[in-house]
Chain A
Amino acid sequence: MSALDLARWQFGITTVYHFIFVPITIGSGFLVAGLQTAWYRTNKDKYLRATKFFGKLFLINFAIGVVTGIVQEFQFGMNWSSYSRFVGDIFGAPLAIEGLLAFFLESTFLGMWIFGWDRLSKKLHLAAIWLAAIGTLLSAYFILAANAFMQHPVGYVLNGTRGRAELTSIFKVLTNSTALAAFFHTIPSAFLTAGALFAGVGAWMIFHKKDAEVAKPALKIGLITVLISFVIVGVSGDTTARLMTTQQPMKMAAAEAVYNTKTNVPFSLLTIGTLNGSKSVFQIGLPSVLSFMATGNVNGTVEGVNTLEKSYEQKYGPGNYTPNIPFAYWSFRLMIGFGALAALISLLALWFIRQGRFPRKRWFVRSMVVLPFLPILANSFGWIFTESARQPWVVFGLFKTSAGVSPGVSAASVLFTMVVFTLLYGVLAVIEFGLIYRTIKVGPEKTIERDENSKTLTMAY
């Protein structure tokens, strides 16, 4: 494998891994803040115990999310130095602003929250978790704005002499339609992920007869969060699909394996292509649905891969402008499929637990334990789809991925770092999973002593 392929694999592995923890952290940060607000308002002990219990799960995830995020920021320079030179004038700004506006807020106030139980007033302590949660939201916005520039570059001019894109409007970069759509797609997905985790943990606890006072609200809040989020994810997904059709028509065509331009296009449920992937042999689908998804009109025209390939060759010169179609097609379907399955399970579960019931059946608790993994898979496939179906571009229409890799870094170096990162991430995954499982098994503290005059520390590392 070339340094390019290895660098792409390394980016894929480290990013997908990082993004397992990001949505859990964003979503559960807000849910924990909500629980603590409930405690603040009602003074009921169960909400305090729930806050502390889910706070522990939140922090175990947060730690891994933070440390794997550092790799993301430095990786651009290490493996993608030519890309960094090309976009640095534009891409660096949201990254630096993300640090100044979001990372400081998250880290400082989270530190205050973890260690401040006996140092801050109840009100300030509550404010700390909300500020940390808002920090995660801001962070998501700026990094999505940076990514949106790669999907749909705006607010720039090309400087031929310096061989780079230069920023002309930070406002345009930060209000990129693609960034806004992605934000309203990614954030509810994060809530969906955290909701599924809360529901899964709650159901497991009830089944194993642990602290029902904490588990019952967790299960219910979790399921409702999943369902509300799913609706928003769907609506913003629809907006995203339409933007994608105008901004990156090839990505939409690849997602649907539409080879030839046509109208009244069905949404494909199953397509089998010939081996070279250039023509579909067999297709079943929902009539006209894709036309509607892509254009808002059942009679809308969806441009096909072959047509687009020809027009791109004319526009950008000879080359291959078609992404890996089966890969795009399946990752798109797995994203929607896993997300929808999570929503379906949650809807049914909400019915099963109506009026305080709880089916003490293995199949029920098993599906509830599977539930948190579904949105994680959906999130991963979503990013895999949106990044891989943009290929061969790293910045759509401006800069190819193959031109972005560091010319001075050998394939052996990239391979070495990739292997070490992967091994380390694997070990951390095992430790993290063990800690999460153990934390759930240990369960919430039964009584929480609060002695204002105590000399001992409530929280110590």
Chain B
Amino acid sequence: MGILLPVVAKNQAERRAVLTTLGPLWDGNEVWLLVAGGATFAAFPEWYATLFSGFYLPLFLILISLIVRGVSFEYRSKYGSEKWRSRWDLAITISSFLPALLWGVAFANIVRGVPLVKTSAGYIQYSGGFWNLLNPYALLGGLTTLSLFVSHGAFFLALKTDGEIRVRANKLGQQVGLVTALLAVLFLGWTMLGLTSKGGVIAGSTVVVVAWLSALAANMKGREGYAFLFSAIATAAVVITLFTGLYPNVMPNRTAGGPGLNIFNASSTHYTLGVMTWVALIMTPIVLLYQGWSYWIFRKRINPNQISTPEAGVLDTVH
């Protein structure tokens, strides 16, 4: 939705409507990313260490983006000034674009295998540098997640807004969604070429394709709730498919037979994994429950005309 902002919203009221649909939810959503990072650290410290120090610059760009994105949402509407707002809008678009692209690049590289060496200390370490990460397969992966996230955002926006903006989001979702379908088929096909045991990936890819086509069909009929649900399933299925293809590896070596990371040599001890499993089993349902509740509270569609004085900033006039 951040990427779509300049295209989908034509005026202040519409731009603010887009951001308001995200307002109560974006931070809670982003915590999933943080928890994924923390869980990787706790459960697979070797993988966390190799991945984060190896994919250094892409992760740095993601971090910078997340910093800028978070403050942009909060600060943008403080002033009414066109200059102030358009700068933050640009910041939102760029800082949304970079992570959407780079996650795909990073994941695709993991699936493809990366150059890894064993250090004298016995650690497995990334040895490929930055440019090596920008190979055609990984870039295709990046474009796939970019396009996937843009259409997923468009479905959500069409579900959460009313008026012209809803129509526009619906249309954009359909167009970008078709591009996504094409990219995903190419990407998953290319992924299969590199694998020896294809069973899991074929099954997973089938789910991805069926879910995605269902999303597009639902969107075409204006059933935005189903469109969003199916695109969420497809997105989850992409991640599951890629990890199924990797199993039991988590970060294989590009060169066959070279040192690589798998769930056995990258993981924590049985005890730590046990502790984390219990915490996750107890906490995840509770979190899902109250997060689901917050989605329910803010379920109403937002119409740009509900924003009474869209041009006014909170801090424009001294009381």
**Using a CB–CB distance below 8 Å, which chain A residues touch chain B?**
56, 59-60, 63-64, 66-68, 70-71, 73-74, 76-79, 81-82, 84-85, 87-93, 95-101, 103-104, 107-112, 114-116, 119-120, 163-164, 166-168, 170, 211, 406-409, 413, 417, 420-421, 424, 428, 431, 435, 438-439, 441-446, 455-457, 459-461
B121 touches A82 (CB 8 A): yes
- A-B residue pairs in contact (CB < 8 Å), sample of 24: A67-B66, A73-B38, A76-B52, A77-B52, A78-B52, A79-B53, A81-B53, A82-B121, A88-B41, A92-B48, A97-B279, A101-B279, A104-B28, A166-B268, A211-B319, A406-B53, A408-B125, A431-B75, A438-B78, A442-B314, A456-B306, A457-B308, A460-B19, A460-B23
Of B239-247, B251-259, B287-295, the one with at least 4 CB within 8 A of chain A:
B287-295
CB distance from A171 to the nearest CB of B (A): 10
CB distance from A85 to the nearest CB of B (A): 5
A99 touches B34 (CB 8 A): yes
A95 and chain B: residue at smallest CB distance: B38
Q: How many of chain B's residues touch chain A, expressed as a range?
A: 35 or more
Interface string of B44-78 (1 = CB under 8 A from A): 01101111111011011001101111110111111
Secondary structure of the B contact surface, majority rule:
helix
Q: CA A95 – CA B40 in complex, angstroms?
A: 10
Set B53, B67, B276: member contacting A77, Cβ < 8 A: B53
B297 on the A face (CB < 8 A): yes
A84 touches B49 (CB 8 A): yes
A77 and chain B: residue at smallest CB distance: B52
Contacts of B77 in A (CB 8 A): 460-461
Question: Within residues 56 to 105 of chain B, which ones have a CB less than 8 A from any CB in chain A?
Answer: 56-57, 59-60, 63-64, 66-71, 73-78
B16 touches A460 (CB 8 A): yes
A70 touches B63 (CB 8 A): yes
Q: CA A425 – CA B192 in complex, angstroms?
A: 43
Q: CA A442 – CA B39 in complex, angstroms?
A: 43
Contacts of B127 in A (CB 8 A): 408
B196 on the A face (CB < 8 A): no
B197 on the A face (CB < 8 A): no
Contacts of B75 in A (CB 8 A): 60, 63, 431, 435
**Using a CB–CB distance below 8 Å, which chain B residues touch chain A?**
16-17, 19-20, 22-28, 30-31, 34-35, 37-43, 45-46, 48-54, 56-57, 59-60, 63-64, 66-71, 73-78, 119, 121-123, 125-127, 268-269, 271-272, 275-276, 279-280, 283-284, 287, 290-291, 294, 297-298, 302, 306-308, 314-315, 317-319
Set A59, A96, A114: member contacting B41, Cβ < 8 A: A96
Contacts of B280 in A (CB 8 A): 100
CB distance from A25 to the nearest CB of B (A): 13
B19 touches A85 (CB 8 A): no
Q: CA A77 – CA B56 in complex, angstroms?
A: 9
A89 touches B287 (CB 8 A): no
Contacts of B307 in A (CB 8 A): 456-457, 460
A89 touches B319 (CB 8 A): no
CB distance from A323 to the nearest CB of B (A): 25
Contacts A74-B37, A446-B319 given; indicate if A455 touches B306 (C-beta within 8 A). yes
Set B45, B66, B122, B302: member contacting A70, Cβ < 8 A: B66
Contacts A70-B63, A445-B319 given; indicate if A100 touches B35 (C-beta within 8 A). yes
CB distance from A174 to the nearest CB of B (A): 10
Q: Can you list the 6 inter-chain pairs with the closest CB atoms, starting with the nearest?
A: A88-B45, A77-B52, A92-B42, A92-B41, A99-B35, A96-B38
Contacts of A445 in B (CB 8 A): 319
Contacts A78-B59, A88-B45, A120-B297 given; indicate if A108 touches B272 (C-beta within 8 A). no
Contacts of B53 in A (CB 8 A): 77-79, 81, 406, 408-409
Contacts of B37 in A (CB 8 A): 73-74, 77
B25 touches A111 (CB 8 A): yes
B44 and chain A: residue at smallest CB distance: A88
Q: CA A170 – CA B276 in complex, angstroms?
A: 10
Known: A114-B23, A409-B53, A457-B20. 4 other contacts (CB 8 A): A67-B71, A406-B49, A413-B56, A461-B23
Contacts of A73 in B (CB 8 A): 34, 37-38, 41
CB distance from A447 to the nearest CB of B (A): 9
A63 touches B275 (CB 8 A): no
B265 and chain A: residue at smallest CB distance: A162
Q: CA A445 – CA B312 in complex, angstroms?
A: 15
B77 and chain A: residue at smallest CB distance: A461
A76 touches B41 (CB 8 A): yes
Set B31, B41, B68, B125: member contacting A84, Cβ < 8 A: B41
Contacts of B283 in A (CB 8 A): 100-101
A131 and chain B: residue at smallest CB distance: B290
Contacts of B279 in A (CB 8 A): 96-97, 100-101
CB distance from A414 to the nearest CB of B (A): 9
Q: CA A58 – CA B66 in complex, angstroms?
A: 20
B26 and chain A: residue at smallest CB distance: A111
CB distance from B66 to the nearest CB of A (A): 5
Contacts A108-B291, A111-B23, A438-B315 given; indicate if A166 touches B269 (C-beta within 8 A). yes
